[in-house]
Amino acid sequence: MSIQKESLVDIAIKRIKDHITTSGLKPNDKYLSEKELISQLQVSRTVVREALISLQSIGIVNIKPGGGVYIGDPNLDTIKEILKHHYDTYGVKLRELTELRKVIELGALRLIIENDIDVDFLQLEEINESYYKAIIQKQDTRKDDRLFHQTLIKMTHNETFYSFSEIIHEYFSLTKIDLVQKEAKLIKSYHQHTGMIDALKEKDLSIAQKIMTLHFEPVFEFINQMEDKTRDGTY
């Protein structure tokens, strides 16, 4: 019974995180009540409460006794706690995860080009334009950015490869690193997406992988800052 219970809690945690990510909610916004979550998730009150407590422990939500559930504040302190939680739980460092994610996405480009896969470029372009619109309208860009990378990997037609990449993405779904990027960097990211699409059209693996490598630079810059603050005792 305990295995089943843990499984339901894990599923509830994932669904709540996905809903928060895609709903455009901001820090301190009021979230769904326990009763609403029970109805939507079709699980018991105990499962919902355990999921919320777990999410609160890593800063995703804030439970106010008698006042409901609120969206957490994704500042650097919260990100630090999230990273510590994952390191303690899974024994994995963010730099190692980022390096692995980079290898996966570079590999996706290689699989597509070397296997001469028929890519739906229109779909990638539409996702990227939606990403651009979100940037210009100052909306949440995370959903479209992730969808672009998910779609790119899915176009390898390798389900095992895609499933493995989703595990890596799940870790990053908590950190929301792109929240600290300014509009200019997001626009640069949009143009890098465009460059990758063009390189895939030309079947130019070297250019595609070079752009993808540049695409990861802001993430590694963030990690360097985190590590520097840890070394000098800021954290």
User: Structural domain boundaries of the chain?
Assistant: 2-73, 77-231
For residues 143 and 150, what is the distance between their CA atoms, to the nearest angstrom?
10
For residues 38 and 12, what is the distance between their CA atoms, to the nearest angstrom?
10
Choose between 183 and 196: higher pLDDT.
Answer: 196
Is pTM beyond 0.75? Reply is no
Mapping DSSP to helix (H, G, I), strand (E, B) and coil, where does residue 211 land?
A: helix
CATH architecture type of domain 2-73: Orthogonal Bundle (1.10)
Calculate mean pLDDT across residues 105-115. 95
Alpha helices in the chain (DSSP H): 2-23, 34-41, 45-57, 76-90, 94-114, 121-136, 142-154, 159-175, 183-201, 205-215, 217-231
Band (2; pLDDT cuts 50, 70, 90): very low
> Could you tell me the fold of the domain covering 77-231?
Four Helix Bundle (Hemerythrin (Met), subunit A) (1.20.120)
Q: Which amino acid is present at 9?
A: V
For residues 235 and 175, what is the distance between their CA atoms, to the nearest angstrom?
17
Note the pLDDT of residue 5. Answer: 41
**pLDDT > 70? residue 4:** no
Calculate mean pLDDT across residues 127-148. 90
Sign of CA dihedral 21, 25, 27, 30: negative
What is the token pair recorded at 83?
Answer: 């990273």
For residues 110 and 133, what is the distance between their CA atoms, to the nearest angstrom?
29
Q: What is the pLDDT of residues 32-81, one digit of tens each?
A: 999 999 999 999 999 998 888 878 766 788 888 778 899 876 544 554 55
Tokens 């296997």 label which residue?
115
**pLDDT > 50? residue 144:** yes
Note the pLDDT of residue 110. Answer: 96
Top mean-pLDDT range of 48-57, 134-143, 191-200? 191-200
Q: Please answer whether residues 178 and 142 qualify as being in contact, where contact means their C-beta atoms are separated by less than 8 angstroms.
A: yes
